[in-house]
Amino acid sequence: MKASDKEAQKEEPGKYYILNRAIFYIGRIVSSQKGRDFVKSEYNKMKRVYSIWICMNMKENSLTQIYLAKKDIIGLHDWKGDLELLNIIMIGMAENLPEKEENYELHRLLSALLSSSLEAEEKLDIIEKEYDIPIEDDIREEVEEMCNLSQGIKEKAFEGGYLMGQEEGRESGYAEGKQNGYAEAICMMYKSGLPIEQIAGIIKMSTDKVKELVKPDLMD
């Protein structure tokens, strides 16, 4: 059995190193196993852990695995244990949908699912034809709902004047958009289950500003 944690970021954070945060999270997941998956000193029952991070709006597509490694300094003693217990997977995604290439199969699928520019049918077409994933009714409904919410939030932003070229226009548009129902659209996305980070990535807004527009009772 394996335990996993997934985290999506609209971009690489500037206030801290994202890898430090990933190490903190994976350490917390490992320590939480004691008392649940094993007790006392039964450390051989520990589960392998994967912490997967998807960071969008990067300069290039990338895929990195960080894990424990052994380095013999003096002697060659064979210490028993599982070096593969901790695994951090960092997925960097560029803004544009990558071309259909073997190296970028994962990135193309994730980009299609998370894209705010592709229509629902375009996403479903990529999922079904390129990845041989059967499109069940529930998958179709979820993809269409995500696209509708993404489009709705963009329209609200445009009506409120948020999508202006200069930073001053952004800030004034943000305030006006809030008055014109911008917050309502964000609340709809949040109530549908989209995380704050994903909403921020869709509308190109900071997570702090998204949190400001989410009604307090929804955050409880």
18 falls within a domain: yes
- pLDDT of 179 reads 42
Residues 29, 85 within the same domain = yes
pLDDT at 70 over 60: yes
Alpha helices by DSSP H, listed for the chain, are 18-31, 105-114, 120-125, 131, 137-159, 167-177, 183-191, 196-203, 207-213, 216-219
Cα–Cα distance, 183 to 186 (Å, whole number): 5
Residue 37 located in a structural domain: yes
Work out how many domains the chain is built from and give that number.
3
Both 57 and 39 in one domain: the answer is yes
User: Is residue 15 located within the same domain as residue 88?
Assistant: yes
- In a domain, residue 143? The reply is no
Q: Are residues 21 and 68 in the same domain?
A: yes
Give yes or no: residues 90 and 103 share one domain: no
> Which are the contacts of 55, defined by CB distance < 8 A and separation ≥ 6?
9, 11, 12, 18, 90, 91, 92, 93
Domain assignment present for 169: yes
Q: What is the rounded CA–CA span in Å between residue 198 and residue 146? A: 11
Same domain, 157 and 120: no
Model confidence over 146-176: pLDDT tens digits?
666 665 555 555 555 544 444 444 455 445 5
pLDDT in tens, 99-128: 888 889 999 888 888 777 788 888 888 888
What is the model's pTM? 0.61
Within a domain: 208 = yes
* Same-domain pairing of 6 and 56: yes
Q: Is residue 191 part of a domain?
A: yes
Strands 48-58 and 2-9: parallel
Q: 10 Å Cβ neighbour count for 12?
A: 16
Pair 105, 51 in one domain: no
Checking if the pLDDT of 141 tops 60, the result is: yes
Whether residue 115 sits in one domain with residue 87: no
Instruction: Write out the residue range of the structural domain in which residue 103 sits.
Output: 97-135
Provide the pLDDT for residue 165: 43
pLDDT > 70: what percent of the chain? 68
Please check whether residue 142 lies inside any domain of the structure: no
Q: Could you tell me if 62 and 108 lie in one domain?
A: no
